[in-house]
Chain A
C-alpha cells in the first residue's frame, strides 16, 4: 500500500536522518518532523566544542534552515507529541491537536540517566543530554571550579577533558577500574583511562554514596575515601534512559527499548522506531550517532519498500584530551588482539581477531586503521596479524592482502 503521510517524532540524528533518507530515496508524500526543541541540532558537540563555547547552537544545527523547505520537510518545532493514535491514523500533540499520519516513526532518543543517589536532585548536580543542559553546565565550569564527574565512560570522559581544558579542577569517579574495556579491549582502555591523570584529571576508583548540599558547594561521599569531598558542581555521566513512554502507552512491545525488526518496524506495522530507543531483539541498543543515522536510512527503505542499505559493522568516535578515538565492531568477541604502533607513540590501533578474521578495532589518532578494519570486517577479508601490526603497511594496503 502507498504511504502518503509520514510523521517523525523527534528531531535528533535518527529523525532527521529518516527524513533525509526518505527524500533521497524519492519519497513523494508528506514528511512532518515534530521536535520538542527550537530546531534539530547535533548532540556530540554538547560535550566538546559547544560545551567550551567555541560553537553556538546555530553552528551545531543538524540542517541549515532552508533545508526543510528545499526538502519539503515540515518542521513542527517546540512541540511535544503526547500520544500515538495508530487506530485513528494520527499522533496527538501537547495542545490537543491531531496530526494525521499513515506511518509514524518514533525517534524520541533518550534522557540522561539520574541514578537514585541521595541528594542527586540538587541544582549543583548536572546531567548532559540537551543544549540547555550544556548551557547550564558551562556556567558551572569556571576556571578553578572543583568539579566531580561521575562515570568515566564516553560522555563522562569527554566532560572531564573539556572541564580541565576550561581550567577546572576535575575528579573523575567510576566504580569500574578500567571503563570501556569491553569496547576498546583492556589494554587500550587502561591506557586511555590513564590519559586522564596525565592531563591533570584525578581518577578515583569508587562509587558515590550520597550528595549533601552545603552553603559553599556540594559534598560527595564516596565508597573509597574516608571523608566527604566538597565540589562546586557534579556531572553525572552514567548513561541514558531510552524514551519509550509513547510506545508503551500505545501498546507497542517494549523491553529495554522499543522492540523493532531488521527494518525498524515495531510490533505495530504502522509505527517504526529508530535511534537510541530502538532495540532489535537479542541485541543491545547502540546509543551511537552513526547507528542512529543508519536506523533512519533503514526505516526510510522500509517505508519506501526499497532494499535496505548494506549493513556495516557498528562504528563510533569519541574525543578526549585532544585525542581522536574511533572503534568498530565488537571487541568483546575477539579471541586475540594485535597492537599497531605503540600507546605512547603519536597514534596507535588495536585489532581484535577471531577465527582468522578481524571482528573489531579501536584507534587513537589513526582513523584510517579503523576505517580499514571496518572494511575487513564487512568484506570478511582474512586477517594477517603480522601485517596488521606493522605500521609501515598502510591501512589502505591491508585490504589488498
Chain B
C-alpha cells in the first residue's frame, strides 16, 4: 500500500518524553493518533486511546521505548504498540512516522 504522508507537526512541537494527539479529522482514522517522542529524538505513532479504557496515550509518560498510560500505567512498545502488562490486554495500533528536516510526517494506517 502506498499512501501519502501528512505533515502533522514540527519535531519541536513535541517535547522530549511527551506526546501530542493528532485529531482523527486530520488523520482520517477511526481514532486520534498519538505522536510520541522518546527520550532521544525518535518519534512514533500509536492510536491515541488506550486499549484499556479511555485515556489519551498522548498524555502518557514516554521513556526508553515505551509509553506508560496516564490512567492505570499499562505500558505499550512505541515501535510495535505491543502491550507490556495489565490492565490493558490489547496492543495499540502503530502507524508509520518519518521525521525529515525537522518535520514530522505521519502515514495513517500504514505499518511502521
Contacts and interface: CB of A to CB of B under 8 A. Distances in A.
Q: Are A and B genuine complex partners?
A: yes
Interface of A: 13, 16-17, 20, 42, 44, 49, 62-64, 67, 289-290, 293, 315, 317, 324, 367-368, 371, 394, 396
Choose among B59, B68, B72 the residue with the greatest number of A CB atoms under 10 Å from its CB. Answer: B72
A371 B85 CA distance: 17
A396 B17 contact: yes
B70 interface: yes
Contacts, number: 41
Interface residues of B, number: 16
19 contacts: A16-B86, A17-B86, A20-B85, A42-B87, A49-B53, A62-B89, A63-B86, A63-B89, A64-B89, A289-B87, A290-B73, A315-B73, A317-B71, A324-B71, A367-B59, A371-B68, A371-B70, A394-B15, A396-B18
Interface string B66-77: 001011110000
A13 B87 CA distance: 9
A62 B85 CA distance: 11
Contacts of B85: 20, 293
B23 interface: no
B11 to A, nearest CB: 16
Interface of B: 15-18, 53, 59, 61, 68, 70-73, 85-87, 89
B15 A13 contact: no
Choose among B16, B17, B86 the residue with the greatest number of A CB atoms under 10 Å from its CB. Answer: B86
Nearest to A67: B89
Nearest to B72: A317
A299 to B, nearest CB: 15
8 nearest CB pairs, A to B: A367-B70, A396-B17, A371-B61, A64-B89, A63-B89, A42-B87, A396-B18, A368-B61
A367 B89 contact: no
Contact of A396 (B15, B70, B87): B15
A293 B86 contact: yes
A293 B59 CA distance: 23
A8 to B, nearest CB: 15
A64 B18 CA distance: 30
Nearest to B54: A49
